[in-house]
Chains A and B, each alone.
Chain A
């Protein structure tokens, strides 16, 4: 019950049609979420005269409040006056199908835009105003610049702790505009100077109409300068390493290139999730599936299966760690059974990598229960009837990825990566976004 949006226990068969109708309405509207219907055995065995009426409203539930035009005006004034505005967008944009509206707004105002982990793909990766990912392992620019910005425009995001770092030293120089569909999120973590309640699909175009066309070239350049620093210190080494074992970054980069940045990315939880979110590139929206705030290892493989069912004609690339993979690998059976051509890229560092990274950086490398005794993953996949291949050397990586993508059907590619690589940049837990570090 605590993780569902709504739940109901049905004890009489006569309640079933209405409960089902309500369940679908609630699950899909507003801020969508799982619902739980508990249909008692008695009710399952009763008979009823079936009649189904779609649910279109519920008295106690307003999925989407109408946008207040006065709030939009207030917001527009702040935007027109801002010198260093920064837009942060999250999954709210994707849920509302407001990707075009977002693009129109930033293109008219020239405002740099950064995505949250769940906002990934709402804007093409190479859009000139896309300045990358926020958060603990996000990009250098948007994190550092958050505290230099004089106006934060948050759209469909909730100031998660991975995004804000230490809240008291977050966005210290900025006024805040918050466009959000869920009233409980406005002023929850970060006090909004202007809160605009309602769907981004409606509020963004209203805002675009009310603001003046503008450019923020010098300000945008500051982000690009940060990108250069990050490229030198982190990205180059991550994605084009020349020595040592294989890196997660190069596996992600090559995969993304080979699918022409146009696949659906599904990630589990941990280092591989952060690296994939950093280096996988997107050309169309609704191309990223990850667990986000309820970060549960084991999410990746079953989610990839679901993503493939939902997007039958797209390539689904699932990156998973050796730890998380073992939490739900029984779903390989479901994948094979349903002939879903999911591509699973297992980035095997032989550790619970993300936890090991913390133990190294913050607990003097006192590794505790993070090294794994792994099974033979190739045999496991084969045991389920799924073809699989293991890559251990740099010179075999590209061909391995190509073979996986060329295969018609589900496939597991195990990439044995460097055991003790870390994910950078990093905003250490409890630190300010300004204190983001680029190396240990």
Chain B
């Protein structure tokens, strides 16, 4: 059965790697629902967070292929339940709408969103949450005319008490040492 999975890939920070990674998905016709790339907590190591809808069996194979990429250190996969995750959304609405009624203000308060910037013409609202939540906010704001709406890729953190990457790096160092 297909379900949403979050794949986390740790890699050396090399140019061209993104292409090598996405090719693994496109070759198998797996759609990338969301992709976030950033520096990890460990200097020099990049972190990719990829959300895809697939069966666990295929995910396992994809993870194997990802780890085979020379510059990839390690890839993990998790179900949504195993991770705390968020996306960030920005909404641009006409400032006029805020004057007309306090509905937007109520919405912002109720949903834990915040206002980032107000100009004479427009106001930018920021909300973090799961996709359904940022989507709901978009729908709620629609009646006031949303000028622009953008949602980020997903970022996620494991519920696991151990930091698996540092564990992995320790093991890897031992393995590399043993190669001498």
Contact = CB atoms under 8 A, between A and B. Distances in A.
Interface of A: 1-2, 5-9, 26, 56-62, 65-66, 182-184, 187-188
B16 A7 contact: yes
Contact of A8 (B14, B19, B176): B14
A59 B70 contact: no
B20 interface: yes
Contacts of A61: 70-71
| Interface bracket on B | 20 to 34
B70 A58 contact: yes
Nearest to B179: A57
Nearest to A31: B68
Contacts of A188: 61, 64
Given A2-B23, A66-B178, A188-B61, A59 B67 contact: no
B111 to A, nearest CB: 42
Given A60-B71, A60-B73, 14 more contacts: A1-B16, A1-B23, A6-B71, A7-B16, A9-B15, A58-B70, A59-B172, A59-B176, A60-B72, A61-B71, A62-B176, A182-B68, A184-B67, A188-B64
B104 to A, nearest CB: 48
B8 to A, nearest CB: 15
Nearest to A2: B23
A2 B179 CA distance: 29
A382 B106 CA distance: 88
A35 to B, nearest CB: 9
Contacts of A184: 61, 64-65, 67-68
A54 to B, nearest CB: 13
A9 B71 contact: no
Contact of A5 (B23, B27, B67, B70): B70
Contacts of A59: 12, 73, 172, 176
Contacts of A187: 60-61
A320 to B, nearest CB: 30
B11 interface: yes
Contact of B64 (A1, A7, A65, A183): A183
A259 B60 CA distance: 48
A59 B74 CA distance: 11
Interface string B44-72: 00000000000000001100110110111
B16 A8 contact: yes
Nearest to B12: A60
B119 to A, nearest CB: 42
A26 B70 contact: yes
Nearest to A182: B68
Interface string B135-154: 00000000000000000000
Nearest to B175: A62
Contacts of B12: 59-60
A319 B72 CA distance: 40
Nearest to B44: A59
A58 B16 CA distance: 18
Contacts of A6: 70-71
A20 to B, nearest CB: 15
16 contacts: A1-B16, A2-B27, A5-B70, A7-B16, A9-B15, A9-B16, A57-B179, A59-B73, A59-B172, A59-B176, A60-B11, A60-B72, A65-B175, A183-B68, A184-B61, A184-B67
Contacts of A9: 15-16
A7 B61 CA distance: 22
Contacts of B61: 184, 187-188
A279 to B, nearest CB: 36
A309 to B, nearest CB: 27
A182 B73 CA distance: 15
Nearest to B177: A57
State the 7 A-B residue pairs at the shortest beta-carbon distance, nearest first.
A184-B64, A6-B70, A184-B68, A60-B73, A61-B70, A60-B71, A60-B12
Nearest to A26: B70
Nearest to A7: B16
Contacts of A62: 172, 175-176, 179
A61 B49 CA distance: 21
Nearest to B15: A9
Nearest to B26: A2
Contacts of A66: 175, 178
A171 B14 CA distance: 42
Q: Which of A1, A6, A184 is packed against the most chain B CB atoms within 10 Å?
A: A184
A243 B178 CA distance: 64
Nearest to A188: B61
Contacts of A57: 176, 179
A182 B64 CA distance: 9
